[in-house]
């Protein structure tokens, strides 16, 4: 017997939308909005880590060069 966890607050809100007949165009806008929202949250968190660890553009360039060297050896 599977015991399901209660719905999250996000799932509950989305279920409220399902009860309405929303045009497909609106659904696409909602999907786009959610994707952009979570993308921005991810970027903000990455920026926070980047700042905490004092990474620079040079750090990223070094990482890219290391990766390229790995592929060149293979």
Domain ranges for the chain: 23-73
**Tens of pLDDT, residues 23-74:** 999 989 989 999 999 999 999 999 999 999 999 999 999 988 887 777 676 6
pTM value is 0.62
Is-contact 17 30, C-beta < 8 A? Answer: yes
């Amino acid at each position: 017997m599977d015991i399901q966890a209660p719905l999250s607050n996000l799932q509950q809100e989305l279920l409220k939308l399902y009860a309405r007949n929303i045009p497909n165009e609106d659904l696409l806008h909602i999907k786009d909005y959610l994707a952009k929202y979570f993308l921005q949250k991810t970027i903000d968190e990455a920026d926070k880590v980047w700042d905490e660890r004092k990474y620079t553009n040079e750090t990223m360039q070094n990482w890219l060069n290391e990766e390229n060297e790995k592929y060149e050896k293979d």
